[in-house]
Structure 1
Amino acid sequence: MHFLRTTLLFWRTYLPRILRARRTLIVALGCALIPVVALFLLGIKYGPSPIEVFMYPAYYMVLMVLVPLAAVITGSVIVSEEVEDRTISYLLTRPIPRATILLGRWLACATVLSVMFVGTLGGLRAVVEWKAPTWKPTEPQTVEWTDRRGEKRTRTRERETAPELLAAMEDGELPEGLFEAVLVSALLGAAVYSALFAALGTSNRHPMIVGLGYAFAIELFLSNLPGSSQALSVQYYLRSLLLSENPELWGRLQEVQLKTYDTTTQALTTLAIVLVVSLAAGSWVISRRQYILSA
């Protein structure tokens, strides 16, 4: 009970601190940009369909960029900022379990990220469903002109909207389960990535640099390897969650396509294991490491 109370105390005290941080403002601005981009795309004549305006930003901008980037920015400094500010000794000399420092602060970080991603994906959905009834599908348009020799020429321009994309939002609403799958993927991705980088910050002097390298170099490399090597990346399991729910729609995106992918239960189980192991490893390190502050 003392362990739980102390963890909640660190969660409560770190929450206002992370909300005031400049890095949190950067993440919030990035999240606020997503619905604005969707509104702009839906205003383009002969632009993408509403279902595409939801799927493309949701995957490329949120899951591939914002989720790992936000986790690196906010999660990697949970412990390392105290070391850099030379204030870690004030926390470690208190008669409390050291692991509660990491767990309570990570919980505050995960809370803030969850609220942000619920807001940005909810805003994206609202914009798409608001504009869907008034959106007009692209139809082939034939243009005629006369060349220098007086001969008439014709050309068909603008692509035709695929019938399956039109059918996906016939009633003006997103297909059943699509929004929920994206939301769960974003929340789990933020939780797992932030736990990984928080654990990394307990033992590394430059966790943000290492975290950025892992999220946007190693993960990208692993997720594009053929065969079972993709299963070594977090992105593989996030993509599995999407494909398990709406394989026909997500299969249109080349980066999401997987020859074989885990079921929803398998992906959730693996992500939960990675989350628990990361927090356990970080708790073990902070409980046993002696932090020596240089002069």
Structure 2
Amino acid sequence: MYNQTVARLTYRALLGRRRALILCALPALLLIVAGAVRGLVGADDAVTSQLLGGFAMATMVPLIGVIAGTGAIGPEIDDGSVVYLLAKPLKRSSIIVTKLVVAIGVTIAFSAVPTLVAGFILNGNSQQIAVAYAVAAAIASLAYSALFLLLGTVSRHAVVIGLVYALIWEALFGSLVPGARALSVQQWALALAEKVGGSGAEITSEVGLPVALVLLAVVTIGGTWFAGQKLRSLKLAAEE
């Protein structure tokens, strides 16, 4: 299912100069803020949880998911070069799965890893807060990558729609509006962080862990399946 050639081309597209700079910007800002906060207030579990939850999980992870998920296939569809890829003797499911794996890897590298490092800078992983949020970021990366990969196959405005979703739904409604939290990937991932961190970590989620895991699986698997179906329809259109 995983194709090395497709993966290499996708990594090259995602990690080009402009996208690489964008991908590095938010993690760099998180680490700078974490260092400044540690220098100003010292190791504080509550502050650590607020920064990692409010900035890393609510803003950084979904935004990087948008860049990696849509960028894995969206530009190829927009410029028509996807037709050349579809002309190769490759299964459409293999193309989608490969691009999803690449998008997940990039999202984890630029979100979960910096979240872990920032957590250690802030409080040295006291109460397992750094590990808890890093695990949540990694799990959220799966769902975001599948969701935005699907978006990249169905709309030419995937980046704009993804940014609206990340900045308005996840960062605003998903963090502040009680009713909307249950439908937020962020909250689903935080359910796992709450379990890893325990009661002392001051991490809370609006969704129970069993329900959160089911919803994360549905979004990840369902998004991947629908993206594969859309890619098949693109092949038929190209042949017509």
Shorter chain as normaliser: what TM range?
A: 0.7 to 0.9
CA distance 1:60–1:99, change in 2 (3 Å): same
1:248: how far off? 4.8
RMSD: 2.5
Structure 1, unmatched stretches of 5+, are 130-171
CA distance 1:111–1:284, change in 2 (3 Å): same
Partner of 1:154: none
Q: What one-letter code is carried by the residue in structure 2 that aligns with 1:78? A: A
Q: Deviation per CA, 1:182-220: give whole Å up to 9, x if none.
A: 111101112211210110111111111111122222344
Tell me, yes or no, if structure 1 residue 71 matches structure 2 residue 16. no
Q: Deviation per CA, 1:86-119: give whole Å up to 9, x if none.
A: 3122112222212322221221121122122343
Partner of 1:136: none
State the percentage of identical aligned residues.
26
d(CA) in 1 for partners of 2:135, 2:158: 26
- Is contact 2:10-2:72 (8 Å) kept? no
Partner of 1:262: 208
d(CA) in 1 for partners of 2:47, 2:178: 29
Partner of 1:34: 30
Greater strand proportion? 1
Tell me, yes or no, if structure 1 residue 237 matches structure 2 residue 225. no
Aligned length: 235
Q: What is the TM-score normalised by the length of structure 1?
A: 0.70
1:279: how far off? 0.4
Partner of 1:18: 14
- Is contact 2:13-2:71 (8 Å) kept? no
Q: Deviation per CA, 1:26-58: give whole Å up to 9, x if none.
A: 1212112222212112222xx364323422221
Describe how 1:88-99 pairs up with structure 2 within 5 A: 88-99=82-93
Greater helix proportion? 2
d(CA) in 2 for partners of 1:127, 1:247: 21
d(CA) in 1 for partners of 2:205, 2:112: 25
Identify the range of structure 1 (57-66 vs 88-97) with the bigger mean alpha-carbon deviation: 88-97
d(CA) in 1 for partners of 2:119, 2:169: 31
Partner of 1:57: 51
d(CA) in 2 for partners of 1:272, 1:15: 25
Tell me, yes or no, if structure 1 residue 81 matches structure 2 residue 114. no
Tell me, yes or no, if structure 1 residue 187 matches structure 2 residue 138. yes
1:275: how far off? 0.5
d(CA) in 1 for partners of 2:174, 2:112: 28
Question: Of the candidates 194, 203, 212, which is equivalent to residue 154 of structure 2?
Answer: 203
d(CA) in 1 for partners of 2:193, 2:31: 20
1:121: how far off? 2.3
1:64: how far off? 0.5
1:268: how far off? 2.5
d(CA) in 2 for partners of 1:225, 1:61: 17
- Is contact 1:79-1:201 (8 Å) kept? yes
d(CA) in 1 for partners of 2:237, 2:64: 26
1:16: how far off? 3.3
- Is contact 2:136-2:193 (8 Å) kept? yes
d(CA) in 2 for partners of 1:201, 1:190: 16
Partner of 1:124: 118
- Is contact 1:78-1:102 (8 Å) kept? no
d(CA) in 2 for partners of 1:118, 1:203: 27
Q: What is the TM-score normalised by the length of structure 2?
A: 0.85
Larger Rg: 1
Tell me, yes or no, if structure 1 residue 287 matches structure 2 residue 238. no
Structure 2, unmatched stretches of 5+, are none
- Is contact 1:242-1:250 (8 Å) kept? no
Q: What one-letter code is carried by the residue in structure 2 that aligns with 1:83? A: I
d(CA) in 2 for partners of 1:125, 1:221: 25
Question: Of the candidates 89, 101, 115, which is equivalent to residue 95 of structure 2?
Answer: 101
Q: What one-letter code is carried by the residue in structure 1 that aligns with 2:208? A: D
- Is contact 1:97-1:287 (8 Å) kept? no
